[in-house]
Amino acid sequence: MMRPVVSARGLSLRYRDVVALDAVDLDLPGGCMVGLIGPDGVGKSSLLSLIAGARALQDGELRVLGGDMRERRHRESAVPRIAYMPQGLGKSLYPTLSVFENVDFFGRLFGHGRRERERRIAELLQATGLAPFADRPAAKLSGGMKQKLGLCCALIHDPELLILDEPTTGIDPLSRRQFWQLIGAIRAQRPGMSVLVATAYMDEAAGFDFLVAMDAGRVLATGSPRELLARTGARSLEAAFIGLRYGAGAVPVRPVEHAPRPRVDDNDIAIEAENLTKRFGDFTAVDRVNLRIPRGEIFGFLGSNGCGKTTTMKMLTGLLPATEGRVWLFGKELDPHDLETRRRVGYMSQSFSLYSELTVRENLVLHARLFQLPRAEIPARVARLAERFELTEVLDQLPGALSLGQRQRLSLAVAMLHEPEMLILDEPTSGVDPAARDAFWDILVELSRRDRVTIFVSTHFMNEAERCDRISLMHAGRVLVSGTPRELMAQRGVDSLEDAFIAYLEEAVEEAALGPVMPALAATVEPTAPRRGFDWRRMYSYARREALELRRDPIRAALALLGSVILMLVIGYGISMDVEDLRFAVLDRDQTTVSRDYVHSIAGSRYFIERPPILDDAELDRRMRAGEISLAIEIPPGFARRLARGDPVEIGAWIDGSMPMRAETVSGYVQGIHAHWLAERAALAGGSRQPTAPVEIETRFRYNPDVKSLVAMVPAMIPLLLMLIPAMLTSLSVVREKELGSIVNFYVTPGTRLEFLLGKQLPYIGLAMLNFLLLFLMAITLFGVPMTGSFLTLALAALLYVVSATGLGLLFSSFMRSQIAAIFATAILTILPAVQFSGLIDPVSSLEGLGRLIGEAYPTTHFLTIARGTFSKALGFGDLSASFVPLLLAAPVILGLAVALLRKQER
């Protein structure tokens, strides 16, 4: 045995109040295959993620590759020598990127030069048989191909330690066999490499060099498979494990029982499908499938990943409408809107699709209520199911804290909650440990035999397939063969169902066979140690990936560009300070020509529109309160007479003050019109000389001589839009990876936080600058706002500004936990300051309180000054340098905060 590659002392890990690892002491030998075995939820994944450096240590000591994983310096040098494939099919891949681009991203991250990278990628894709699919997006690969691609990504940098967390869970037997052949071939070329695998398949584990049996966060035993068998005196690993867990002499696993096929009534058909076909565009996912399943039968559905099993099942449940063909359930043609049928069917989808924000108990109770189970029965039913599926201890946990297997059991419990007559189960036991699977199948058999429940189930486990009454083998959308397990084995002349399955598949396979592992792959140059500190190439690889993802989602980029153009149009024209067409009405108690003349002078101006006259005080009050009029003029009785006599007389003007800006404007207009009317009367009277003002005030409206709102608003729209849209674009970029799982790549690869964030930011800065040019062109052409100052100054400021704006989005993204919260934070924390506190309407210098402080610091304020200065005031860089200082400061401060809040390990 070589020196230990991993050694742990007193290693513990807790998620809130759940203990995942409990004082683990462990030494793993290097240069061989090490397997972690044990039921779900015993801490295998937690241990692997600690070893990979993806999760931060809590208690205890962990040394990997000869150094302490608690020390950052060691992690930085160790991480590039480790490769980690987390649990879940394709979870660490980027679904919109192609096969080549996925591997290429990791190659760039590890700093390979172009030729080196291309050579490695070519060899890896060749070896895994993925070469013909290099251009296919990862999302469109089958499960087996996804895992092979994950392996390519993991192997690109010649790791010394390869960590695989249940790599073959949910993969069909053929792909599984190929996967291990591939690992074997690679190990043959690189004898020094250590491989650490968690697996639920005991037959896989039997071939490993060294095993670690785990239970309840502790290590039960370590040793080679032979040692473990010898120690427990068991004949199979499964039995050995049970012996280790419950002590020697415990009941061994029962051999698979073949319950006799029930007598079925061939006229009592539960599921019937005729020429069922589904096409997505020109891709035929399901091709003329015919099924006839009598009530009470367990019908197994087998086939490689992506062959159309899930699509078929979805069509049977009515989730997907069939392109062609018909389906009958219980003899009635399928109607997706028929709620009664839904009540008779239980469905479990392949991926976990329960509420991760509700506890196990809450999930169960919610579904019980939706199925309208009698209220009083619910607690008992939930308790019974929890016991049956061994969920009692985790009833009040959130599903996120559970292992994959426990989550599958929860899904199953939910599907069976309402005791349906038919169960449609899509890979229900994927990721569930063998003992729990056995227990689950006992339940299925019981349901089928005792309650005559019809069960339609897909699986990759051959020992499960053997327990089915009949099975169908599907490939590329077509059913290859159907029959009882015995019939199928007999037809191929083999004595295991797995061999039969592989034989059928190999005949029809599209997936290219594995290529040879080229010697060159192993004999590559010594991997260069990754540069510490900031590395441009790594940043570029993040930027490149983000740009590719942006390009694959053209709707987003189009929304950003087109959306800002539309907003500029609507708001640019819409916001205006020129108040016109104000409604007013008159309460004329005089009713003389003079009073009517006064009213005409108001009604005649372009600012006011006259409404029907007011008759009394009550009406005045009512119409103003209803908001029908903004201004009411009250002319007192005897107005004309008193005016003629020169007695003092007063006209009342009532203004609706609920919107202060409008009220101020109205009051200005009324005063002006009033003064004008008086002057005209005086002039008309002719006699007295019109009194002229003693002083003349010449008002010069600068920068915007016509005081046009457009000239003021259009340049101001650019800063507003360049804040809101770029911030929203980046605000999901990190948190989305957290929610969907690919963030783990960042945890276990050498990139630094700054490289990661800057890389993500770059494409959006580019997009935002494009946006800037577009808006600028609109302003000068469409709106005809003259650009009087220096364009270069404006463009430079715009660049600094969008760095801040995109940085702000990243900042929210780096510490928010859900996408909703990130959207929310971005909306609240950009719209309010940018619209209200940055001088769009009211200058910052006039604001008060907290709003003033925010306004002074917010980047929009300063870019707004620059935008208005360069557009309208003919200013250049020298004049505006004072506004550049805050912009220059904002970008690094924001990014620095984002870096500080982003974590490089999961906690």
Q: For residues 363-402, which are near other proteins according to CB under 8 A?
A: 366-367, 369-372, 398
Q: How many CA atoms lie within 13 A of 678 on its CB side?
A: 13
Burial class (CB in 10 A: 0-12, 13-18, 19+), 370: exposed
Residue 870 binding other proteins, by CB under 8 A: no
Binder to other proteins among 540, 873, 893, 901 (CB under 8 A)? 873
Residues numbered 90 to 109 that lie near other proteins (CB under 8 A) are none
Q: Are 248 and 233 in contact (CB under 8 A)?
A: yes
Residue 360 binding other proteins, by CB under 8 A: no
User: Quick one: CA torsion of 872, 875, 881, 883, rounded to 10 degrees?
Assistant: -10
**From CA 853, how far away is CA 840, in angstroms rounded?**
16
Q: Are 229 and 239 in contact (CB under 8 A)?
A: no
**From CA 561, how far away is CA 22, in angstroms rounded?**
53
Residues numbered 606 to 645 that lie near other proteins (CB under 8 A) are 622, 624-627, 630, 643
Binder to other proteins among 468, 655, 757, 811 (CB under 8 A)? 655
Binder to other proteins among 39, 318, 431, 530 (CB under 8 A)? 318
Total residues at the site for other proteins (CB under 8 A)?
151
Residue nearer to other proteins on the CB measure, 378 or 476: 378
Residues numbered 394 to 453 that lie near other proteins (CB under 8 A) are 398
**From CA 307, how far away is CA 291, in angstroms rounded?**
16
Binder to other proteins among 837, 858, 863, 884 (CB under 8 A)? 837
Binder to other proteins among 188, 490, 792, 821 (CB under 8 A)? 821
User: What are the distances in angstroms from CA 339 to CA 128, 368, 417, 834?
Assistant: 46, 15, 17, 49
Name the nearest CA neighbour of 159 among 202, 199, 128, 124: 124
Residue 566 binding other proteins, by CB under 8 A: yes
Residue 579 binding other proteins, by CB under 8 A: yes
Selected range binding other proteins among 254-262, 334-342, 488-496, 885-893, rule: CB under 8 A: 334-342
Selected range binding other proteins among 34-42, 194-202, 864-872, 885-893, rule: CB under 8 A: 864-872
Selected range binding other proteins among 436-444, 507-515, 573-581, 775-783, rule: CB under 8 A: 573-581
Binder to other proteins among 670, 802, 811, 895 (CB under 8 A)? 670
Provide the b/e sequence for 476-491 (b: ≥16 CB within 10 Å).
bbbbbbbeebeebbee
**From CA 894, how far away is CA 448, in angstroms rounded?**
62
**From CA 409, how far away is CA 403, in angstroms rounded?**
10
List all residues 6 or more positions away from 335 whose beta carbon is below 8 Å from its beta carbon.
318, 341
Q: Are 352 and 399 in contact (CB under 8 A)?
A: yes
Residue 356 binding other proteins, by CB under 8 A: yes
Q: Are 110 and 129 in contact (CB under 8 A)?
A: no
Binder to other proteins among 352, 378, 527, 603 (CB under 8 A)? 352
- Tell me which H or E stretch contains 331: none
Residues numbered 745 to 774 that lie near other proteins (CB under 8 A) are none
The string of DSSP codes covering 601-615 is HHHTSTTEEE-SPP-
Residue nearer to other proteins on the CB measure, 509 or 874: 874
Site string for other proteins, 133-172 (x = CB under 8 A): ----------------------------------------
Residue nearer to other proteins on the CB measure, 490 or 570: 570
Selected range binding other proteins among 66-74, 80-88, 109-117, 663-671, rule: CB under 8 A: 663-671
Binder to other proteins among 181, 351, 528, 690 (CB under 8 A)? 351
CB of 595 to other proteins, least distance (A): 11
Q: Are 57 and 907 in contact (CB under 8 A)?
A: no
Angle, helices 404-416 vs 434-451, to 10°: value is: 10
The β-bridge partners of 471 are 300, 483
CB of 852 to other proteins, least distance (A): 6
Residue nearer to other proteins on the CB measure, 525 or 693: 693
**From CA 334, how far away is CA 323, in angstroms rounded?**
14
**From CA 158, how far away is CA 34, in angstroms rounded?**
18
Binder to other proteins among 578, 597, 616, 617 (CB under 8 A)? 578
Selected range binding other proteins among 153-161, 206-214, 343-351, 489-497, rule: CB under 8 A: 343-351
Residue nearer to other proteins on the CB measure, 96 or 484: 96
Residue nearer to other proteins on the CB measure, 232 or 870: 870
Residues numbered 171 to 200 that lie near other proteins (CB under 8 A) are none
Q: How many CA atoms lie within 13 A of 736 on its CB side?
A: 14
Residue nearer to other proteins on the CB measure, 66 or 657: 657
Q: Are 405 and 329 in contact (CB under 8 A)?
A: no
Q: Other CB atoms closer than 10 Å to residue 676's CB: what's the count?
A: 12
Q: Are strands 194-198 and 324-329 parallel, antiparallel or unpaired?
A: unpaired
CB of 327 to other proteins, least distance (A): 14
**CA-atom Rg of the chain in angstroms:** 37
CB of 902 to other proteins, least distance (A): 16
Q: Are 35 and 194 in contact (CB under 8 A)?
A: no
- Tell me which H or E stretch contains 268: none
Residue nearer to other proteins on the CB measure, 495 or 650: 650
115's tokens: 């030729």
The β-bridge partners of 274 are 326
Residue type, 883: S
Q: Other CB atoms closer than 10 Å to residue 616's CB: what's the count?
A: 10
Residue nearer to other proteins on the CB measure, 699 or 781: 699
CB of 572 to other proteins, least distance (A): 10
Binder to other proteins among 495, 523, 650, 781 (CB under 8 A)? 650
- Tell me which H or E stretch contains 479: strand 478-483
Site string for other proteins, 682-711 (x = CB under 8 A): ----------xxxxxxxxxxxxxx-x-x-x
Selected range binding other proteins among 101-109, 350-358, 487-495, 766-774, rule: CB under 8 A: 350-358
364's tokens: 């169960």
For Cα atoms 696, 699, 703, give the angle at the middle one, nearest 5 degrees: 165
Residue 806 binding other proteins, by CB under 8 A: no
Residue nearer to other proteins on the CB measure, 30 or 346: 346
Residue 667 binding other proteins, by CB under 8 A: yes
Residue 731 binding other proteins, by CB under 8 A: yes
749's tokens: 């690869």
CB of 422 to other proteins, least distance (A): 11
Residue nearer to other proteins on the CB measure, 186 or 732: 732
Residue nearer to other proteins on the CB measure, 426 or 511: 426
**From CA 35, how far away is CA 560, in angstroms rounded?**
49
Residue 332 binding other proteins, by CB under 8 A: no
Residues numbered 844 to 863 that lie near other proteins (CB under 8 A) are 845-852, 854-855
Residues numbered 475 to 534 that lie near other proteins (CB under 8 A) are none
Residues numbered 523 to 562 that lie near other proteins (CB under 8 A) are 553, 555-556, 559-560
Residue nearer to other proteins on the CB measure, 378 or 439: 378
Residue 797 binding other proteins, by CB under 8 A: no
Q: Are 11 and 23 in contact (CB under 8 A)?
A: yes
Residue nearer to other proteins on the CB measure, 220 or 559: 559
